[in-house]
Copies of this chain bind each other. A is one copy, B any other.
Amino acid sequence: MERIVSSSKAASDQALRNRARMLISCPDRPGIVAAVSKFLFEHGANIVSSDQYTMDPAGGLFFIRIEFDLESLPERLSALEANFGAVAQQFEMNWKLSPASRKKRLAIFVSKEDHCLLELMWQWQAGDLDADIAVIVSNHPDMRPIAESFGVPYHHVPVTAETKAEAERRQIEIVEEAQADTVILARYMQIISPVFIERFRNRMINIHHSFLPAFVGGKPYAQAHNRGVKLIGATAHYVTEELDGGPIIEQDVQRVSHHDKVEDLKRIGRHIERIVLARAVVWHSEDRIIVHENKTVVFN
């Protein structure tokens, strides 16, 4: 079950060599789009797609995602970035330019449930998740066969109350050795320390098995069953210091009924969790998300 990149996929990778994405946020004022598009045009770029959002038109904030093609992008990238500095300064921009060929490198954390991991692996193998899966880390040995079947390194780092701090140091080491830039908590059932969170600010995604902010914390399906809700959900969010309180990236729900016991909610929930997490990881990997004041702007 090695990953087979079909020739058409390879051809398409070739085409993406010259594609890049810009994410910009800045105070709104006239002329931003004109300045950015003039800059790109004068450098020979062709804008392939552009999506913009102005929060509160009068004196608010401006967000834009631009995708463009530029001949010989890899060779011209640093010059492009250097030149854009002047435009960025003029408009007080926060900005990021990412070549499509420089894929995000994911470190996936799991415990004993396999469904979120398997969905990510399946979408990655199908070419739907355009990222590199750098490493899988778990506090249990159970998922190793899956990791091996996809040819991805697997690290078992046991976590106990006593070894927690040491275990996390080891985890961070593993993530850095794998040169991962993004951490995915794919039903990883351990609390992450503020140090680790800070290091992966806006680059650590968790899937919570409820429709947040309902049912924060442990055993959300039991809570949902107890309250008698008619829909259950899942929420993918960036991790912050507040438990289940970070910026929400995506949510979805599924209908349930009085027939469904807690076990049924878990089963139905697994399907929502894997879909919701996969969407969030795909969007993050394609630079579609800007975080602003504990909320996300998602260009999709």
A248 at the interface (CB under 8 A from B): yes
Instruction: Collect the chain B residues with CB atoms within 8 Å of residue A54's CB.
Output: 47-49
Residue from B53, B247, B258 within 8 A of A298 (CB atoms): B258
In the complex, what residues of B have CB within 8 A of residue A46's CB?
28-30, 57
Task: From known contacts A50-B50, A145-B1, A231-B252, infer whether A45 and B30 are also in contact, taking CB-CB under 8 Å.
Answer: yes
Known contacts A33-B47, A34-B34; is-contact A126 B270 (Cβ 8 Å): yes
* B251 and A227 contact, CB distance less than 8 A: no
Q: Could you tell me if B47 and A53 are in contact, using CB atoms closer than 8 angstroms?
A: no
A sample of 7 inter-chain contacts (CB < 8 A) reads: A30-B45, A115-B126, A128-B267, A212-B227, A227-B248, A228-B296, A231-B252
Instruction: Please tell me if A218 contacts chain B, counting CB pairs below 8 Å.
Output: no
Question: How many positions in chain A have a CB within 8 Å of any CB in the partner chain?
Answer: 66
A296 vs chain B, min Cβ distance (A): 7
Chain B residues whose CB sits within 8 angstroms of the CB of A114 once the complex forms: 126
Query: Distance (Å) between the CB of A264 and the closest chain B CB?
Result: 10
A133 to chain B, nearest CB (A): 17
Number of copies: 4
A73: interface (CB < 8 Å) = no
Contact call B29/A33, Cβ cutoff below 8 A: no
Q: Of A46, A51, A128, A270, which is in contact with the most chain B CB atoms at under 10 Å from its CB?
A: A46
Q: Report A's interface with B, CB cutoff 8 A.
A: 1-2, 28-34, 37-38, 40-41, 44-55, 57, 69, 114-115, 118, 122, 126, 128, 145-146, 149, 211-215, 227-231, 233, 247-253, 257-259, 267, 270-271, 275, 294-298
Check B29–A228 contact: CB distance below 8 A. Answer: no
Contact in complex: A231, B233 (CB < 8 Å): yes
Contact partner of A297 (CB less than 8 A), chosen from B44, B149, B214, B258, is B258
